[in-house]
Structure 1
Amino acid sequence: YRNTTINLKAGYWIDERNRIEAGYHDINAFNHYDGSDPLTYAMDPNSIERSDFRQRSGYVSYHYLIADHTIETTLSQSNFTKKNLDATWGLNDYEGKTPSAEIKDTWKYADNSHMVLGTSYEKRELNYTSIGDSEKERDEHSKALFFNNTNRFGNIVLNEALRYDSFSAFDDKATGKIGVKYLVNDQCDVYANYATAYKTPSMLDMINPWGTANFTLKPETIQSFNAGIRYAGFNMNFFRNEIEDLIGWVGYGNVNIDGTSVFKGVELSYEHQLFQTLLAGANYTYVDAKDKNDARLPNVPRYQTTLYTTYMPVKQVAWTLNGTYVGSRQDGFTTHETGNYFVANTKMTYHIDKTWDVYVKVNNLFDRYYQTVYGYASAERSYYAGVEARF
């Protein structure tokens, strides 16, 4: 596996009211992988298959400040191509692009109140070829209007949001959110939120470069609720998400899981500055994910824990160490267990000046063998060195 990634970002204040930003992201990857039988989907460890992938995306954004308004206009586009060089079944290659535009106005209409109004447009174009078939095209687009309002009354903060999406390939939908937060003091607050969402399948969800295409996928309809408390560096959040027509992997492709699937659980996190030179933290997530028949959903770890620390012996040097334990998780295709493992990473960064950083890092520090998808091993101990520049 070879991957070359380039990230560029720049911003410039023309004057006190006008700012322009631009960014570019480029991924160029070449991959060797095991093929599989088109009838049984059994993996063939002796096969030699290759894929070539390229994704380029960029944006330009203009900010204009006038009175109590900040008006932001953003244009962006993402282009992607993939060629399965040795494929004998399924998808041979695909090429797509996604141009989009958004304009929004953030209006501070009172000392403790602000509102965001905006509209967006996105177009999705895809050309693809399956083995033994001619090239096909798929085009779709969407438009949206959105509104977000936040008010503070004493120790109470209220937030409301509305969004309306119009799709060329799916039903139109209105969604919203309402939230409340009570500020107990400077270090403590309690909060609760209720929201609805509508998640349409992406083109890659439908075309599925890794198996069987499914262009009859329906959008997910989502209701979510969460409530929690924050105190100093501690946060506890309870959540419940109900998803109708959840998109999931069954067999060798994506399908809508019938009925309403429920994800419920708790998130705990804590971060503390132990000394002036040492920061440490931890987080824990427990998820009970089940379908309409109360059966456990695959590919979702029941619990996950992360520990991390950053040590700065001198101002120019930062040493980071983190480790994650993934609990029980069942593969969606083979029903094999793919969880119950611990992976650690470390990174050392030297800050040369305000522009330049150099770093070395090691991923999978203890060379742990694990699989997030059964049959596909993750990278062994890996070494990296790099340079970061900020202008």
Structure 2
Amino acid sequence: MEAVPATPAGLSATYDAMTGQATLRWTASKETDLAGYRVYRRLATTSWSKASGSALLTAPSFTDALPATGQTFFYEVRTVDKGGRESRGSLDVSATSLDRTGPAAPAGLTATGDRFTTLLRWQPVADAARYEVYGAAQSAGPYTLLGTTTQPSYDDHLTPANAPRHYRVRALDAKGNPSAFSATVIGDGVDRTPPQAPTDLTTYVQASETRVSWKMPDSFDNDRVNGGHFRLYRSPGTTLDPATLTRVSCVNTDSAYDRMCADQGMTPGAHYTYAVTAVDAAGNESALSAPVTVRSGDRVAPGPVTGLRATPRNDGMLLSWDAPAEDDIASYFAWRGVRQPDGTVRWLESCSEGTSDPQAMLCPSIPDGETYVYAVIAKDRWDNRLRLDDPTVATVTATELDLVRP
């Protein structure tokens, strides 16, 4: 078997950053039947391939133009004799190119705008350390750098209202190499984003109107100054029913921030459920707020208490009565009086000492053994109550204990 040529020795590699070329040199072979040399190259993760092409090299040197990717390339040289036999590869050497190659251009750029901000989003780019966002009034430019970001998103807070702005983005790697620009997208400056819904609804119910107040949503100040406002809705009953939802014509509002509405179109004594929306300057309406339910006011006094009883005690006369049928009772008042010969009652004083029982009240300091007429009247939350001289007012006659021994 014929021997293969001797392996080349003395291989070295130098890289010229100006030209982007690696120069290889090695010791000339002393083979008498030398035909030439082959140079092989590979990356750390690839197999050897011929870098010197199909023709044999006749001189012990080779210049290789490397891609400006910052990668490390490994080399070895093999000797070839006139019979076509190839030696083993020399000891490996390496050269690392200067990185002048930017990342891939960003893809999937979108622009979603409202009156004050255009939201730009795109797909992340591998090897991108940051992104530059450019804008222009015309698609042909000139483009101005709007800002930089490390995330695949950017919020343009200087969007011109109702005017187009063209956007494009490019990625830069850690060495500052830029990519090509993304495709251009257009933001038209038209507000299509509804604001957040108002929060914290409260109510103040009177006999003539129901006032609903709320908290203005965050970031609504700009909209409010530029014509944004609120809408109050209601539906009958104790739940918000979209099928019967109607908008309330507010009688008056909070003039400073438009955060209160007075509803005077209710049926007295009926249940209503309210909700509020925010409407921005472009007419975009928010979702409904969390609802609040009220019972509207009325001007009808509660009916007479029932089951009125008077129980004499050592400390006075205890008055008690049955629980009311009405659900809007706020408090009770009691009086003590004396029956006149003509059957009428002359009322002397009120009894104001309450007890732990909401349907009981004590009239204290009643003279021993004396008989009086007692009356109890209910007052609702809207200050409606029967007059004391109303013939339907519940009364009871009782005699206090006689604690004086004969």
**Fold match by TM threshold 0.5:** no
Name the structure where strand makes up a greater proportion of residues: 1
TM-score by length of 2: 0.16
TM-score by length of 1: 0.16
